């Protein structure tokens, strides 16, 4: 169902589906990983100071500002956000899991609403984040940031 293809992407290797996927379909469970307390460019953030690594084929999910998958860090699953054709690259919106990226990078996705710099949800507006499914820990960080800002206004 999933295969790693070297090249053909601005980001290097990429993860391709070999079969069509329907919107909402479970693509892959996240079941084999190692929990670490610091982010790297190969981890996915699942909570405050909680990151997972050694993700197997999922390590090849590249970023896109027009993603076709969602990484759910509560259910530990990857699901299709829309119908995906066989042969299509799988991607997700990195700030949906990352508050602050270990290695920010310039986005090369070419989407009309591209965020240009992928540095983490911390650096994006609520309007921008509202276009994507955002994980629970990222929503909690947003609320903490807003509450801290309100305290300084008092």
Give the DSSP H or E segment for 126: helix 126-129
Q: Which pLDDT does position 12 carry in this prediction? A: 83
Which residue matches tokens 């070297």?
6
Q: Which pLDDT does position 154 carry in this prediction? A: 65
* Residue 130 confidence class, pLDDT cut points 50, 70, 90: very high
CA dist., res. 26 & res. 115, Å (int): 27
If we measure between CA atoms, which residue out of 2, 25, 153 comes closest to residue 89?
Answer: 2
Domains of the chain: residue spans and CATH: 2-153 (2.170.270.10)
CA dist., res. 55 & res. 53, Å (int): 5
Contact 9, 62 (CB under 8 A): yes
> pLDDT (tens digit, 9 = 90+) per residue, 65-118?
999 999 999 999 999 999 999 999 999 999 999 999 999 999 999 999 999 999
The predicted model gives 32-47 an average pLDDT of: 95
């Amino acid at each position: 169902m999933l295969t790693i293809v070297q090249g053909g992407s601005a980001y290097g290797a990429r993860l391709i589906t070999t079969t069509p996927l329907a919107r909402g379909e479970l693509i892959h469970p996240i079941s084999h990983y190692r929990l670490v307390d610091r982010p790297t460019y190969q981890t996915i953030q699942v909570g405050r100071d909680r990151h997972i690594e050694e993700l197997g084929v999922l390590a090849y999910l590249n970023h896109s500002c027009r993603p076709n998958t969602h990484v759910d860090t509560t259910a530990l699953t990857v699901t299709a956000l829309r119908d995906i054709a066989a042969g299509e690259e799988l991607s997700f919106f990195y700030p949906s899991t990352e508050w602050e990226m270990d290695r920010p990078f310039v986005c090369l996705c070419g989407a009309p609403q591209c965020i240009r710099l992928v540095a983490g949800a911390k650096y994006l507006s609520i309007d921008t984040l509202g276009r994507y499914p955002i994980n629970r820990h990222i929503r909690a960080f947003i609320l903490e940031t807003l509450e801290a800002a309100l305290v300084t206004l008092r």
